[in-house]
């Protein structure tokens, strides 16, 4: 993509023949106190090296962000926890004051009911209920139903996009989406850490991580021989994995697969946002440059 930035695109300080920073960075306006670089001017110089986005470039980056976020949303639908949290969000927001305050990041529910927010929530609930019923009818409540023909798959994909748009366009939906995403990413990080620990512990006792987790689920009746200290550490790590399995409502292998797809989409969307932010900053600097009548 012509507008994509690499890690070196922000490096614009130049060196002369003796390896010193060029006079462009050492001018009176770029230095303070005995030749030290002015951080503001260095930052502006780096921003000045960022390419501006034309209309086509903006469309491409916007599409990248959209596609990455959709991938995250669909990965969340692929685990029971994500489905329950997303599709049941509007009803829970209406019924559970504590949950509503958490999502709204406020402890003043009276203020919520005195504004138009309640009407907006009721609208979100109505549309989400309709979109959920359509999606469940087409999918049978399964993330990846089998035996669908091409027309049915297209219809199901449109139903999933309709769900996604609600969580994108409604502030309530977006806040819930971010909260669920954060919870799943934290759970995935916990699993990775616990699996690394179990792999290390397993080498000490000649057991695989899966064997240790299974022994934990059996109440420790099948523990391989180990010290009490090591046993306690294994219990903590295996317990974390067991907790995530129960919380997410899926086996750990499926969860890891969904979490990997989620991270891929999240990374793609975040990279697009970073490019868009830098390009917008570059536009601001470019406009300011005209009024300052100075080169970056």
The H-assigned helical ranges of 88-170 are 89-95, 97-104, 109-113, 117-139, 150-169
Separation of alpha carbons 186 and 194, rounded Å: 12
β pairing state of 31-32 and 36-37 = antiparallel
Which residues, at least 6 apart from 1, have a Cβ–Cβ distance to it below 8 Å?
Answer: 57, 60, 61, 64
What is the band of 288 on the pLDDT scale with cuts at 50, 70, 90? confident
Backbone angles phi, psi at 37, to 5 degrees: -70, 140
Instruction: Name the 3-class secondary structure at 114.
Output: coil
* Structure token pair of residue 104: 């709204």
Nearest to 24 by CA among 50, 46, 51, 52: 46
**Contact yes or no for 51/3 (Cβ under 8 A):** yes
Separation of alpha carbons 289 and 281, rounded Å: 12
What is the band of 252 on the pLDDT scale with cuts at 50, 70, 90? very high
- For the chain, the average pLDDT equals 83
* Confidence (pTM): 0.76
Task: State which H helix or E strand residue 140 sits in.
Answer: none
pLDDT tens sequence across 80-132: 999 999 999 999 999 998 898 888 877 665 556 667 888 899 999 999 999 99
pLDDT tens sequence across 136-187: 998 887 767 777 888 888 999 999 999 999 999 999 999 999 999 999 999 9
Q: Which long-range contacts (CB under 8 A, 24 or more apart) does 136-143 make?
A: 143/74, 143/77, 143/78, 143/79, 143/83
């Amino acid at each position: 993509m012509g507008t994509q930035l690499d890690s070196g695109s922000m490096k614009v300080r130049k060196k002369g023949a003796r390896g010193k920073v060029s006079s462009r960075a050492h001018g009176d306006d770029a230095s303070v106190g005995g030749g030290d670089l002015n951080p503001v001017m260095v930052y502006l110089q780096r921003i000045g090296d960022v390419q501006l986005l034309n209309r086509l470039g903006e469309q491409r980056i916007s599409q990248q962000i959209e596609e990455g976020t959709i991938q995250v949303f669909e990965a969340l639908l692929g685990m029971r926890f994500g489905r329950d949290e997303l599709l049941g969000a509007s009803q829970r927001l209406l019924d559970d004051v504590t949950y509503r305050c958490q999502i709204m990041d406020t402890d003043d529910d009276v203020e919520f009911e005195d504004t138009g927010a309640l009407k907006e929530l009721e609208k979100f609930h109505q549309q989400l209920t309709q979109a959920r019923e359509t999606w469940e009818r087409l999918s049978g409540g399964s993330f990846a139903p089998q035996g669908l023909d091409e027309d049915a798959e297209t219809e199901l994909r449109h139903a999933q996009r309709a769900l996604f748009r609600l969580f994108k366009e409604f502030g309530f939906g977006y806040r819930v989406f971010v909260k669920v995403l954060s919870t799943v990413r934290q759970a995935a990080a916990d699993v990775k850490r616990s699996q690394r620990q179990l792999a290390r512990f397993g080498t000490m006792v000649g057991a695989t991580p899966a064997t240790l987790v299974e022994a934990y689920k059996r109440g420790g009746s099948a523990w391989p021989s180990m010290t009490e200290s090591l046993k306690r550490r294994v219990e903590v790590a295996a317990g974390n994995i067991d907790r995530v399995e129960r919380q997410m409502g899926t086996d750990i292998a499926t969860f890891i697969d969904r979490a990997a797809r989620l991270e891929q989409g999240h990374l793609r969307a975040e990279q697009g946002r970073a490019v868009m932010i830098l390009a917008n900053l570059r536009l601001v600097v470019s406009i300011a440059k005209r009024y300052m009548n100075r080169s970056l």
